[in-house]
Each structure stands twice: as structure tokens, then as C-alpha cells.
Structure 1
């Protein structure tokens, strides 16, 4: 994280689709954490979400780099439930290996997330 004091991520690479502007008048009251089911960088997950109708607010890489892909004020499409999406921040954790290794996540990814 570039700044924990101001909650500034290491990188901002905003999606131009697959999110909803605003939060439908709802307030954030939770964080939803998912894993990528892949070893993905910020640029790679950005590309996945350009092609797939899904998104999250942040991607945390295997090295702990945090990338913001959807502004907090907007609704990411990460929980397959409109109410949950509107009332949460979505975090995506990159895995450090694939299904054959049971999708592990590095300690650094968890710590930064």
C-alpha cells in the first residue's frame, strides 16, 4: 500500500466497464474477500474483467502490491448479489499457484489485504 494513512493503493488502474456507478444509496458495512483462482497481476486481472462481467475494488498480488480497479464510491460486481455488492468493498487475492497446489495465497498477499 502506497499509504496506509490515506488508504492510497500502490496503483490505480480503473476498469471502464463491469461495475455500477454509485452504490444505490447504500452504505459500506463489510469487506468481501475472494481469490483469483489464478496467479494474476493487476494488469492481468484488469484484462480478465474487461472480458468477463465481474470486478472487485482491489487486487492484491503475490508480492502484496495493491491495485484499485473500481473506486470505493462505486459498486463492483464481485458477490453475484446486488445488495452485497452495494454494501461491500471487494478484495481479490492472487493465488501463488494453481489448483494442483490447492490455490495457495502468500503471507504477503494476506498481510497487505
Structure 2
């Protein structure tokens, strides 16, 4: 995630907070305006906002929140693939069946 400093800070920025449904990440190095997010689920939608928080420096202080950014993580191979079931119908035909994976991790094809 990359962001810019607020155009009108409400005092000196003390930290940035990256908010997603889970987790909330506090980023105190205010000279670095990016953060790599890890342990995200594949092919999952996330709504991410960044807050610039200040102590106010004698002013009101508080946090300024960015508009939400909607992102989808990249797909990967499915997880939890069940076994195939193969039944001989005749000498030249087989019936093959399977269940969907427990976590597809991508679009259905």
C-alpha cells in the first residue's frame, strides 16, 4: 500500500494507520509512505483506508482518513482438493466426479 502525506495536516503527523477489516496496522515511521501487507488471502476483496494521525501540536489533533481503496489479491492454486471418484460404466466409458475445493483461491472455470 502506498499513500501521500495529507495536503493539510492537522498538526505534525505522528503515525499512519492502515485499516482493513483485519488487522489494523500502526505505521510510526512517518518518512516512509508505503507498507507491504502480508498474510492476505488469495483472490479476496479488501477495502483499505489509511489514516494520518497527529497529536495536534496545540491544535485539535486527530486523524484524517483516506477514501477506501478496493483491491483484490491475486488468485493462486485451489486448496483442499477432494479425491476424484471414478466408476467404470462400460468397457469404454468412465464416470468421473469430484467436489469443489474447500477454498478455490480464484475464479471458477
TM-score normalised to the size of structure 2? 0.24
- Judging by fraction of residues, say which structure has more helix: 1
Q: Greater CA radius of gyration, 1 or 2?
A: 2
TM-score normalised to the size of structure 1? 0.23
Q: Higher RCO, 1 or 2 (CA under 8 Å, sep at least 6)? A: 1
- Judging by fraction of residues, say which structure has more strand: 2
